[in-house]
Amino acid sequence: MAVREAGFSAIGFHEPLDALMWASDADPTCLVADLKMPGVEGLDLVAAFCALNRHAVIVVSAFVDVRTTVDAMRLGVDDVLSKPTTMDELVRALRRGAAALASTPVREELTFTRRERQVAEMLVEGLTTKQIAQNLELSPRTVEFFRASLLRKTQSPNSAALASALTRLGFLAN
């Protein structure tokens, strides 16, 4: 399925800074960026995109690892896809991004327990369930319980989306 066939319009740019200039004037729903581009560091461009108007940012790159994914999520990226990726995967990410914008929970409606906050902060830092359990002196199963609670409360489909949502809503320090 092509992006346009899925109901999205798409504009491509050869120069990353041209895309940034366009995005600062337009009001796009989603921005898709690679991490390796000419003339600019990928995460710097992603940070600039995330600092613009309210929209979803999706990274598609052949150079994706855990650290880069966590860094991107801290910046506010909504989804990270590894190349090669299919058009269907990209369309699903675009739909998730657009849906997240339409249903972003209001911060005042969300309340977290002390333990939920502790688990969330460590998830954003990139710690594993086992590491969080050791740090908080909890069982891994208990950590998974808190993680599931956070996912439900923020309506996030996975831990990466959870980290992005919490960072974007200002619950966690960058």
Q: Which domains does the chain have, with CATH numbers?
A: 16-102 (3.40.50.2300), 107-168 (1.10.10.10)
What is the rounded average pLDDT of the residues 146-166? 79
Q: What's the CA gap between 102 and 114, in Å, rounded?
A: 28
Contact assessment for residue 103 and residue 109, using Cβ atoms and an 8 Å cutoff:
no
Residues forming a β-bridge with 30:
56
Residue pLDDT, tens place only, 40-68: 777 787 777 777 666 788 889 888 888 88
pTM beyond 0.85: the answer is no
Q: What are phi and psi of 29, to 5 degrees?
A: -75, -45
